[in-house]
Structure 1
Amino acid sequence: MTAQFEYSTLAHPQDIQQLGTIFEQCFISALGGEEVYINQVGVKNFRIIRQSEQLIGGLATLDMGQWWGGERVPMTGIAAVGIAPEYRGSGAAIALMQQTLKELYAKGIPLSALYPAVQSLYRKVGYEQGGSWCNWEVPAKSIQLREQPLPLQPIVPVNHQVFHELYQQQARLTHGYLDRHPAIWERLIQADEKETFYAYFIGTKEKPQGYILFSQHSSEDGAILRIKDWVILTAAAAQSFWSFLASHRSQIDQVRWRSSVSDSLTLLLPEQTAKLRHTMRWLLRIVDVVKALEMRGYPSRIQAELHLDIQDNLLDANNGKFILSVANGRGEVTKGGKGELQLNVRELAPLYTSLFTPYHLQIAGKLHGTETAISAATQIFAGSSPWMADFF
């Protein structure tokens, strides 16, 4: 660590209080009770930075997983990165992120993801756009689906354990989805004071084919039904999902939910009345190149070899030439090779996630490659548009 900053875990009660105060100022209490949030995530999962023994900032680490090509890859989410305003611009945030990434590498974590307030800071430490987080909206009156093949069963009491198995079935098949941290589950099923919370299985309780969790509240735009989480595993569940929402049309003006940029659920609607209300991109950092490439899944019929030349200014082990050999849906990495696809570890992120094709990344000046390498990378990293439903 530089003489200027000291990096450590969060332990002492006075530090917890001090970090809570910094977060309160940084996030205008958006976390909803800073010390409650710190306890929910777990004190041991926070990292702090000091200057001259003064605590000046910190962040939360959420150890979870992310699904890529049908395989779960361990991933640490970074949340609540906050530096006291009087220390901003001092390099404290970069030092905090650099030390956190070095620690993650030492622990053997392949990936890290976060939602940026500003991209420039995180790009300096190797993060780049990885996938989408999108809010959709549709007028309830325009849904117009009446037929409901499956019953909807209210879930009481609501405990997140009942959703896990159904959620994981959908997550495994959704490029970029999280294997959620317990704190994310808790916040999902915790109704805030301003809303009433409802939960339903789609189908029978014994054999549900999905679920829907939602709240209803009044706003300047009229009555809103906000879907907090959903899982749909069959065509019958998709049809039932929409017909159930359509049945709210006399009281509800708008239905809002989170999905991908190209949401296949909207194919069931009679007209193109569903609109993207808000979209942003989360960032991904390839922390351990070899592990990240070997642990994800690949298209099963592809047999190809990609010669990479990677630069990483922070984590030395990621530097150099690697050969990625893909067969039977799995990848194997060996050191060496021709280095036909040259890129910074930062630019490896949108390639890894299939957010952009190698061709488009080359046009944007983000990588350089031979025709052979571009062709191999296009086959290897072909995938649906990556997204996640959770903000953290």
Structure 2
Amino acid sequence: MTGLQIRPLTPEDDIDAQVDLGQRAFGPMSPAQRLNWIHTATLRIRQGTFLGAFVGGRPAGAAAFHDMRQWWHGRGMPSAGVASVKVAPEHRGNGIGRLLMTALLDLIAERGYPVSSLYPATMPLYRSLGWELAGSRYMAAVPARSLRTLTAPDVASGTGAARGAVEVRRAGPADAAEVNEIIARCHETAHDSGPLTWDLEPAAHWLARADMYGYLTGDGFAAYRWQGGNEELFVERVHAATPEAVRALWSVIASHSSIARTVRVRIAPADPLWWLTRERDVSGASRWMWMLRVVDAPAAIAARGFPAGVCLTVPLVITDHARPANSGRWDLTVSEGTGTLMPNDPGFLSSPAPSAAGAAPAAPLALGARGLAALYAGTPVATLRLAGLAAGGAPAADAALDAAFAATPYMVDDF
């Protein structure tokens, strides 16, 4: 497009013009939403992770990413959370969105992020650049009265701490580092895949919100806010590494049952709450899927956790048009909970992978960028084939890959 410029936004750019662009693209913001957005946008502008598109000097689009850590089988790695992707209505259909996202992906790669995630408003653009559906954010609802009495444990936990001995204290912005550390410890202990922790400044800002109520134990953290006056309690998260912390934090939430009728909670698919209510009162209300991109394939495999009992070496052929450094023939090896992706013969198209003496060469599994992202997130190889995201390979390798990447990815954050 003539006169199009894409560049990082600077503190000298008009932030009100960016707010206007966001409202034209996504709808109006409340005063509180506007203040929160400006705070986050100002931080990302300062970090150089907010790109703007300009036509004739006027804002025509924007895209940004957040500095996060994402957990895969209990290991945290840097992750770029893409957000605020928008194009002014009068400029839609001219390719600005694709140019913006291509530039943003290049910036994410330059900054050294192994993976990137996003919540799509529409998927064709993101799929064309290598993002693919990977996991979900789940919302459940439970009548507040059902939390008054949780089911008793069948066995002793062995932690040596009685439920009443767990100290619960309020959490505020000064506790951001401790909150992040506890959340990380919980994800590591649970071998979680998909959830995030934020960098400290946004975490502190979130804890400072007037409508957010956070509570800490030595092994857990919970945060909630009121909705609809005092009719409903919205629980943004409950993280706990011990059964005593789980019960202590839910007891704080349950103490509102004389006022609130319903508790809505962002929840993990295997959250202990499903097993704690006395009746079948916890119901899944919604599921919102998010997308993943493997930005640096060798770095992403090296940073990911894998099940300790899985051992494999599988040849892969990866084709990634947007990130050519990922393309080629690779040997994927997983052993003792870690993985490596090593380049094979650069003439991979005519050179099959070596195999054991006397056996036929192993057939490589062919993946594009989308298939690689979906495999990384635990999608079974058979599903990838049926969806047109994988081809080739061998049945024995399929079973090994499914065991290595097995996961039910989820998030409790939006961004």
What residue number does 1:169 align with?
Answer: 185
| Cα gap change, 1:199 to 1:4, in 2 (>3 Å) | same
Partner secondary structure for residue 13 of structure 1: coil
Asked if structure 1 preserves the Cα contact closer than 8 Å seen for 2:236 and 2:412, the reply is no
Q: Secondary structure at the match of 1:66?
A: strand
Secondary structure, aligned partner of 1:155:
strand
TM alignment of 1:217-296, pairs within 5 A: 217-218=227-228, 223-296=231-304
Aligned to 2:10: 11
Tell me which residue corresponds to 1:310.
318
How does 1:1-392 map onto structure 2 within 5 Å? 5-11=4-10, 13-30=12-29, 31-33=33-35, 34-43=37-46, 44-145=48-149, 149-151=164-166, 153-155=168-170, 157-159=172-174, 160-172=176-188, 173-182=191-200, 184-191=202-209, 195=211, 197-202=212-217, 208-218=218-228, 223-336=231-344, 337=353, 340-354=364-378, 356-368=379-391, 369-383=393-407, 385-392=408-415
* Higher mean C-alpha deviation, range 309-318 or range 338-347: 338-347
Contact 2:170/2:216 (<8 A) preserved: yes
- Do the aligned partners of 2:316 and 2:329 also contact (CA within 8 Å) in 1? yes
Deviation at 1:387, TM superposition (A): 0.9
Aligned partners of 2:54, 2:384: CA distance in 1, in Å?
A: 38
Letter in 2 for 1:98: T
- Percent identity of equivalent pairs: 27
Tell whether the 8 Å contact from 2:173 to 2:203 is kept in structure 1 after alignment: no
* Residues 214 and 225, structure 1, Cα contact 8 Å, conserved in 2: yes
Q: More deviation in 288-297 or 98-107?
A: 98-107
TM-score, normalisation: structure 1: 0.89
The answer as to whether partners of 2:49 and 2:66 remain within 8 angstroms in 1 is yes
Distance 1:155 1:143 in 2: 20
Query: Aligned-residue CA RMSD in angstroms?
Result: 2.3
The amino acid that maps onto 1:294 is A
CA–CA distance in structure 2, aligned partners of residues 3 and 374 of structure 1:
49
- Residue 205 of structure 1 is matched in structure 2 by none
8 Å contact kept, 2:8–2:45: no
Can you list the C-alpha shifts for 1:131-182, whole angstroms capped at 9, x where unaligned? 1111111001123426754445331655323422212211323211213133
Deviations 1:181-202 (A, max 9, x none): 335414532435xx4x333234
Query: Deviation per CA, 1:294-316, whole angstroms, max 9, x where unpaired?
Result: 22111112110121111112111
Amino acid at match of 1:32: R
Unaligned runs of 5+ in 2: 153-162, 345-352, 354-361
Match of 2:359 in 1: none
1:149–1:102 distance in 2 versus 1, CA, 3 Å: same
Contact 1:149-1:239 within 8 A present in 2 as well: no
The SS at the match of 1:8 is strand
SS for the counterpart of 2:410 is: coil
TM-superposed CA distance for 1:126, in Å, is 0.8
Closer, same or farther: CA 187–306 of 1 in aligned 2, 3 Å:
farther
Deviation at 1:20, TM superposition (A): 2.9
Q: Structure 1 residues 181 and 42, CA, compared in 2 at 3 Å: closer, same or farther? A: farther
Distance in 1 (CA, whole Å) between partners of 2:11 and 2:224 is: 38
| Structure 2 contact 113–295 (Cα < 8 Å) conserved | yes
Offset at residue 380 of structure 1 (A): 1.6
Q: What letter is aligned with 1:352?
A: Y
TM-score using structure 2 length: 0.84
SS at match of 1:32: helix
**Stretches of structure 1 lacking an aligned partner (at least 5 in a row):** 203-207
Does the 8 Å CA contact 1:129/1:281 hold for their aligned counterparts? yes
CA change 1:8–1:317 in 2 (3 A) is same
SS at match of 2:186: helix
Task: Name the CA distance, whole Å, in 1 between partners of 2:3 and 2:252.
Answer: 58
Q: How much has 1:252 moved relative to structure 2?
A: 1.2
CA distance in 2, matches of 1:47, 1:157: 31
CA distance in 2, matches of 1:149, 1:118: 48
106-115 or 171-180: bigger deviation: 171-180
Contact 1:74–1:110 (8 Å) recurs in 2: yes
Q: Is the partner of 2:103 in helix, strand or coil?
A: helix
Q: Which amino acid aligns with 1:18?
A: A
Cα distance in 1, alignment partners of residues 173 and 116 from structure 2: 30
Q: Which amino acid letter does the alignment assign opposite residue 146 of structure 2?
A: S
Change in CA separation of 1:191 and 1:11 when aligned onto 2, cut-off 3 Å: closer
Structure 1 contact 225–256 (Cα < 8 Å) conserved: yes
Deviations 1:301-348 (A, max 9, x none): 211012111111211111121111111111122112356211211121
The count of corresponding residues between Structure 1 and Structure 2 is 379
Q: CA deviation at 1:15?
A: 4.5
**2:226–2:233: 8 Å Cα contact kept in structure 1?**
yes
